[in-house]
Structure 1
Amino acid sequence: MSHRPIFVVQLHDARRLHYDIRLEVHGVLKSWAVPRGPSLDPSVKRLAVFTTDHDLEYASYEGVHADSKYGSGAVIVWDAGVYTNLTRDDRQQLVEPATAIERGHFKFQLYGVKLTGAWAFTRTGADWLLVKVRDDDADPERDITSIEPRSMLSGLTIGEMAASARDGQET
């Protein structure tokens, strides 16, 4: 059986609340900060800022960073699972994920707890856009970030995670 690369979406309350979408590529997590989080509506284009690669071990991190190379603030694992690369070239040949990212368009199928279906990151100048592909998992009526605020690991909201650290509780 071949290896299925992982993905994780972490909600991070740093200087500004945002969702970090991370996809495993060549042993690291390629990462985009998405301020408004993913949308299930294919007509919605979400700003995504390409950020530094993260170690694979970071995929399960929840807690509160004081001073970290990854940014301060509370972090929860909002969603996680595996993904399949769907990126094709003009001849319909599969394009390797690192090459797709380098070329500025990466299409993938998520198999998560909250997010399923096809998505695409597309570079537009310095930044990127995240768009839900029209498929059976698209749902313009559901605001997934509002109706699913809790961590899939701890069950905490981002506010509860921050409060637990302030109160000196284990996270």
Structure 2
Amino acid sequence: MADRLDRYRSKRDAGRTPEPVPAEPVPADAPAPRDGDAFVIQEHHARSLHWDLRLERDGVLASWAVPKGLPGDPGTNHLAVRTEDHPMEYLTFHGEIPRGEYGGGTMTLWDQGTYETEKWSDREVKVVLHGARASGRFVLFQTNGKNWMIHRMDPPVHDPLPPLDPMLPAERSRLPRDAGTYAFEFAWGGERVLVPIEGGRTDAARRHPWLRPLAESFGSRTAVLDGEVVTLGGGEVLVCYDLLYDDGRSLVAEPYTARRAALEALHLSAARWQTAPSWPGQAAPVRQAAREQGLPGVLAKRLDSPYEPGPSTAWIFVPSRAAKPPRD
């Protein structure tokens, strides 16, 4: 008797994985049961991060692996790879699949809910999702074999990503007199870099591959970090000091204080990345510390300033040491 879960069973050993492996088959030639309307999306940290979209259909869960997650903008389609049907028990599954087993890695429940079917064929599936995090009309369409695409049919749900041009400080020889209106940070003298993160990936990893784990740690959260790659303790480290975009919301129009609070809330602290320290109002002590540590200078950032791509007088670079007067 043919079993709708034959492919699923063939890839798993019930004695080695905590995944549900039902004892009873789901007959492929039996009359299809009344279709339910449940769906689940699981965040799957396997060999590569992806999200598994599963839709209840004919007594099983029709499944797609979506490497970048569901698109938030109808202008961008995302790859969706058709995988084997999964058992209904997978609607609530989460846990650790042992390394070396098929799909080995951590699986968490990203969203659950119900859906409506507008169209279902062998090459096109059109649904309306009703979940806490995923909602709206989507269409999945086959492009080549197991490769499908998923397209959002509703208007965008997020702010567009900001232009990826850094804010640049003006150079001055003296610290600002109204120090209480500024935050003071070290000027690190490293490589300035903007790090856009989407779908657990970042283009910045092309130049700095060690940033891939940072991007993956964000999961489905979209962000744009501003900072510098500096050498600390003999290795490259990303020092982050601004946040331009966070979880679907552009922050470039927000004041420095709001962006800084959002950055600190990310708790970026690891061997290869960290949040740069910042000291509101502490002009002279920060400059002295920069001088003692051999850093090129300090940055004074107005507390009320938005993020302005390109040169801006709202940020001021002051060298650690005053320039020597010319000799007669």
Common fold by TM > 0.5: yes
Counting matched residue pairs gives 132
- Aligned partner of residue 90 in structure 2, secondary structure: helix
- C-alpha separation between the residues in 2 aligned to 1:113 and 1:124? 29
Aligned with 1:74 (options 106, 119, 132): 106
Larger Rg: 2
The AA in structure 2 aligned to 1:141 is D
Tell me what 1:113 maps to. 132
For residues 102 and 86 of structure 2, what CA distance do their matches in structure 1 show? Answer: 8
Instruction: Name the CA shift for 1:63/1:133 in 2 (closer, same or farther; >3 Å).
Output: same
Cα 1:5/1:68, change in 2 over 3 Å:
farther
- Assess if the C-alpha contact under 8 Å between 2:138 and 2:150 holds in 1: yes
Over aligned residue pairs, what C-alpha RMSD do you find? Answer: 2.3
Contact 1:10 1:77 survives alignment (8 Å)? yes
Runs in 1 of length 4+ with deviation above 4 angstroms?
67-70
Alignment of 1:19 with 2:61, yes or no, is no
Where in structure 2 are there 5+ consecutive unaligned residues?
A: 1-33, 161-197, 200-219, 222-246, 249-328
Matched residues, percent identical? Answer: 34
Asked whether the equivalents of residues 41 and 141 of structure 1 are also in contact (C-alpha less than 8 Å), the reply is no
1:4–1:84 CA contact under 8 A, matched in 2: no
Structure 1: distance between partners of 2:70 and 2:124: 17
Q: Partner of 2:234 in structure 1?
A: none
After superposition, the Cα gap between the structure-2 partners of 1:8 and 1:68, relative to the gap in structure 1 and judged at 3 Å, is: farther
Query: In 2, Cα distance between the equivalents of 1:110 and 1:37?
Result: 14
Counterpart of 1:63 in structure 2: which amino acid?
G
Alignment of 1:139 with 2:171, yes or no, is: no
Higher relative contact order (CA 8 A, sep 6+): 1
CA displacement at 1:67 relative to structure 2: 5.6
Alignment check: 8 A CA contact 1:23 1:30 kept? yes
Q: 1:123 aligns with which of 142, 157, 162?
A: 142
Give the AA of the match of 1:132. Answer: R
Q: 1:76 to 1:16 in 2, by over 3 A?
A: same
C-alpha distance in 2, partners of 1:85/1:68? 36
Question: Is the partner of 2:55 in helix, strand or coil?
Answer: strand
- Show CA shifts across 1:67-121 (max 9, x none): 687511100010110000012xxxxxxxxx3xx1x1x111000000101110010
- Distance in 1 between the 2:153 and 2:140 partners? 10
Name stretches of at least 5 consecutive residues in structure 1 with no aligned partner: 88-96, 149-171
Which shows bigger deviation, 58-67 or 117-126?
A: 58-67
